[in-house]
Amino acid sequence: MAKFTLSEILTATGGELKQFPGKSCISDPSEFVVTGISTDTRTIEEGNLFLALIGENFDGNKYAVAAAKDGATAMVLSTLEHAPEDIPVILVPDTKLAFEKIAEYYRLKLACKVIAVTGSVGKTSTREMIASALSRGCKVYATKANNNNEIGLSQTILAAPEDTDVIVLEMGMRLRGEISELTHIAHPDVAVITNIGVAHIERLGSREEILRAKLEILEGLCEGGLLILPYADEYLQKAVAEGLIREDVKIAYTFTEKVPLQKHPYGMASAESISIEGDHICCHATAGFGEMTSVILRLSVVGIHHVGNALAGLLCGLYLGIAPDRIEDGIASFVQIGHRERLVEVEGVYFLDDAYNAGPESMMSAFGSIRRLAKEGKAYACIGDMLELGDVAAEKHFEIGAKAAELGLDGLLVIGAFQEDVKAGVGSVSSDIPVYCFEDKDQMTEKLVDLAKTGDYVLLKASHAFEMYTILESYGSIVRKGNEP
C-alpha cells in the first residue's frame, strides 16, 4: 500500500494545507505519513488519506466527517464546508485531478516499468496474457476487473506494492482525449495496441478517428519506448506508413502468418505450426530484438486470436530481460477471467460463455471457436446486439450473420434490434441454416432446450448489457425441471 508524507501530497497536487496540526501535534508535514489513498468511506482503513471525489450523483466532500470516524488521518477536499475538526486537510480545486496527480507521482516514485494496453477488442485478455507472461520472472501488478478509466487506472497504480517490478495497465476510452489523460498519468515504458476495430464508432464517427484516439497512448510513452503492434492490422500499418508514430519510438510487430517485410522493425514475434486440440492451442514462436529466440507456447484457451496476445506477452518478457523458459511457463499459466471464453457443461450440453461483451471482430472469432470445439457435432450460437456501432450497426450485424453461415454453424438464436440484419446475412450465404428470432432471453432459452442435445456446443455472446450468461442458469433450471443440480 502506497505511503506518502503530507509534503509529498502537497507537491503532487499543488494543494493548500489547512487545519494543521490540530490534535496531531505534528508541526512538520514531511513527518506526517499516510498509508494508502481511499476514495470510499465503506472501505477506508486506519491511517488512510481520504480523497473526496465528486460525481454526477455524489459529493465525496460530504463524507469527510464519516471518513475521519472510520480512520482517515488526513484528507484532500475541494471545500472546507464539511471538513472535520483537527484533521489536516489539503484543499484543491479539483479532487479528481488531484487523485490523478498523486497516482502519477507514485508511478514516477516507483522503480518499476509500466506496460499499457489499449485497442478496440481484446484489451483485458491481452493485459492478462502479458501479466501471465511476466509472472514467472518478476513481480507484476495489473489492472483488476474493468478498471481502465482515469479513476480505475489511478487506483491500480496506487494499489501497486512498493517492490513491484512491472505494472500492466489497461486503457479504455469512448472519446478522444481520454487515453491522452490516462497515458500522462501512467508514463508507460511499453505500449501495446491490440487492433483498430469499430467499437465506439457511434461516438467517434470513423475508424480513422478511433485510430487517432488509440494513438494518444504514445503521448505519455517514455522517450525511446517500445510500441507493440499486430502487423495484420491495416489501420496501424497505415499509421506507421503515414508517420503518425513518433520517430524515437521503437516498433515491434506480432505475426500469426508469414508476410514479406520490406523493412525489419526493431523487434518481432511470429507464430508457426499452430495446432488446436479442444480447449488448448500450441504453437512454435520465434521472437526477439535483433537476436531471435525460439519457444513453444501452450495456451489453455479456445480462441485462435490468443496466439497474437501471447506473442505480445513474449515480446514484453524478452524486452524486460526475462528468460524465455520463464516466459513460456508464465504464458502456460494464463486463464481467462469473467465471462470470457468460459467452457461450461450444463446437463450434457457444452456452453462457451463469452458473454462479457461483443463487437464484430470478437463475434466472428467466437463463431470460429464454437465451430472448432464442436468438431463434427452441432454448434449453435445464442447472440444479441453489438452496441455502439452507430450508422454501421446494420451492416456489421449482416456481416456476422454471413460469417456464421460461412463457418457452418447449425443454427443461430437471436435477440435484439438487429435480428433481421443477422438473418439476412445468414441467408446471403446459405438457406439451410435456421435463424430463430426472439423478444427476450426467456423465449430463447426455451427454444434452446428443445434444440440442443447431449454433446452439442452453444455460444453465448452479445454486448454486456444483454447479460447472456444468465442463460446458463435458466437453461439448467428448465432441463432439471427446477431441481437442484
Query: pLDDT digit string (tens) for 46-69?
Result: 999 999 999 989 999 999 999 999
The boundaries of every CATH 3.40.1390.10 domain in the chain are 3-95
pLDDT grade for 356, boundaries at 50, 70 and 90: very high
CA gap 86, 75 in Å, rounded: 11
Cα–Cα nearest to 215, from 232, 227, 201:
227
40: Cβ contacts below 8 Å, ≥ 6 apart: none
CATH of 110-332, one of 1.10.150.20, 3.90.1300.10, 3.40.50.1220, 3.40.1190.10: 3.40.1190.10
CB atoms within 10 A of CB 261: 11
pTM summary value: 0.92
Q: Regarding beta strands 49-51 and 74-77, do their DSSP bridges make them parallel or antiparallel, or are they unpaired? A: parallel
Specify whether the CB–CB gap between 322 and 139 falls below 8 A: no
Share of the chain above pLDDT 90, in %: 88
pLDDT grade for 146, boundaries at 50, 70 and 90: confident
* HSE (side-chain half, CA atoms, 13 Å) at 252: 28
The boundaries of every CATH 3.40.1190.10 domain in the chain are 110-332
CATH of 342-479, one of 3.90.190.20, 1.10.8.190, 2.160.20.10, 3.30.70.360: 3.90.190.20
* C-alpha cell of residue 223: 522517450
pLDDT grade for 34, boundaries at 50, 70 and 90: very high
Using one digit for the tens of pLDDT, what is the confidence trace for 266-279?
Answer: 999 999 999 988 78
Specify whether the CB–CB gap between 416 and 462 falls below 8 A: yes
The enclosing H or E element of 282 equals: strand 280-289
The predicted structure's pLDDT at residue 267: 97
Q: What is the fold, at CATH topology level, of the domain defined by 3-95? A: 3.40.1390
CA gap 465, 481 in Å, rounded: 28
The least confident of 197-206, 363-372, 444-453, 465-474 is 197-206
Mean pLDDT, rounded, for 18-38: 78
* Identity of the amino acid at 44: I
Using one digit for the tens of pLDDT, what is the confidence trace for 272-322?
Answer: 999 988 789 999 999 999 899 999 999 999 999 999 999 999 999 999 999
